[in-house]
Amino acid sequence: MKAYQTYTKGPRKGSPKTLTDRVIRHLTEALKKTELPSNNRYRKFTGSKPNSFYWVGKKGAVRAGTSPSNSASLTDKVHANMQLWERKTGLN
């Protein structure tokens, strides 16, 4: 199963469809994080510290912490790093 949705045809074939899909591609491909099962509305990824996780919301919001309610927003930092990574690798 793919971690994010991509366009199947047209000039943008293979590129992520939404901002959330771009964030998930960045977490999985650039930062080498793996998606974990989650029972809430956020998608859960392995964190950089033990017992810490990245949480991705529907509109591409990114949080880091032990749970979505006990976490800090990293949206601006992750989006900036994602744009730099996309430019560097030629994905943009």
The string of pLDDT tens digits covering residues 6-46 is: 888 877 888 888 999 999 999 999 999 999 999 889 999 99
The string of pLDDT tens digits covering residues 30-88 is: 999 999 999 889 999 999 899 999 999 999 999 999 999 999 999 999 999 999 999 99
Q: For the chain, how many structural domains are there in total?
A: 1
Using alpha carbons, list the distances in angstroms from residue 74 to 5, 7, 10, 47: 22, 27, 33, 12
Decide if 6 is inside a domain. no
| 26: CATH | 3.30.310
Q: Does 4 or 2 have the greater pLDDT score?
A: 4
* pTM of the predicted structure, to 2 decimals: 0.88
The pLDDT score that the predictor gives to residue 78 is 95
The residue range of the domain holding 80 is 19-89
Q: Are strands 35-36 and 62-65 parallel, antiparallel or unpaired?
A: unpaired
